């Protein structure tokens, strides 16, 4: 795998610097008629057009995004023990299921990182042993 210097793009054929985003261009086309378009959407919403109403309401009061809660969990014990503690916290209502899902995802990433590190160490030890056996012959 090729290595790149910090700040150097790995996708040299990517979007050219300074090129405009298509959404920005399209937004520019609507801008001269923005007032009329908004008034029309509001008028349609007031006449009972449900799609127009939903669009207007989404702009006025967008759906709330869940807020992350601060949670303290133990960093000791096995990953299985920590996963069980997270599950128990969700099952008893101390944390929300969404928070538990996020914590489990973090724990799964940690497991993969530890596994990768362990595999690397084992491979290096194996290669050193193999090199030692090869040089002894």
pLDDT value of residue 2: 58
- pTM for this entry: 0.48
pLDDT value of residue 121: 95
For residue 116, is it within any domain? yes
Tokens representing residue 2 in the block: 């090729």
Nearest to 47 by CA among 63, 39, 81: 39
Domain that holds residue 46: 24-60
For residue 73, is it within any domain? no
Report angle CA 116, 118, 120 to the nearest 5 degrees: 70
Same domain assignment for residues 89 and 49: no
For residue 126, is it within any domain? yes
Q: What is the 3-state secondary structure (H, E, C) of 63-81?
A: CCCCCCCCCCCCCCCCHHH
pLDDT value of residue 1: 53
For residue 69, is it within any domain? no
Same domain assignment for residues 95 and 124: yes
Same domain assignment for residues 85 and 125: yes
How far from 107 is each of 62, 67, 113, 114, CA to CA, in Å? 32, 20, 10, 10
For residue 98, is it within any domain? yes
For residue 74, is it within any domain? no
For residue 117, is it within any domain? yes
Tens-digit pLDDT string for the chain (137 aa)? 556 677 776 777 777 777 778 888 888 888 899 899 999 999 999 999 999 999 988 888 888 777 777 888 778 889 999 999 999 999 999 998 989 999 999 999 999 999 999 999 999 999 999 998 888 77
- What is residue 61's DSSP assignment? S
pLDDT value of residue 29: 87
């Amino acid at each position: 795998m090729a290595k790149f210097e910090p700040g150097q793009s790995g996708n040299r054929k990517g979007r050219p610097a300074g090129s405009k985003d298509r959404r920005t261009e399209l937004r520019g086309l609507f801008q001269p008629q923005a007032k009329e378009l908004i008034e029309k959407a509001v008028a349609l919403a007031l006449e009972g057009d449900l799609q127009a109403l939903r669009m207007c309401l989404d702009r006025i009061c967008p759906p709330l995004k869940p807020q992350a809660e601060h949670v303290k969990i133990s960093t000791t014990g096995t990953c299985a023990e920590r996963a069980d503690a997270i599950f128990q916290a969700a099952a008893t209502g101390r944390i929300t299921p969404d928070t538990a899902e996020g914590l489990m995802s973090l724990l799964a990433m940690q497991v993969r990182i530890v596994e990768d590190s362990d595999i690397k160490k084992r491979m290096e030890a194996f290669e050193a042993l193999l090199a030692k056996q090869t040089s002894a012959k």
